[in-house]
Amino acid sequence: MSKDSRRNADGYRQMFRKHFIPILINAGPRAISLHHRRIAQYYGLAGATEEAAINKLAAFAWLPDPRVAVRKLRTALQSIDPR
Distance set, CA 27 to CA 5, 16, 19, 39, 48 (Å): 27, 13, 11, 17, 28
pLDDT by residue (tens digit) across 8-49? 999 999 999 999 999 988 998 889 999 999 999 999 999 999
pLDDT by residue (tens digit) across 49-67? 999 999 999 998 888 776 7
Cα(32)–Cα(29) distance, rounded to whole angstroms? 5
Assess whether pLDDT exceeds 90 at residue 80.
no
Assess whether pLDDT exceeds 60 at residue 2.
no
- So where are the chain's domains? 3-80
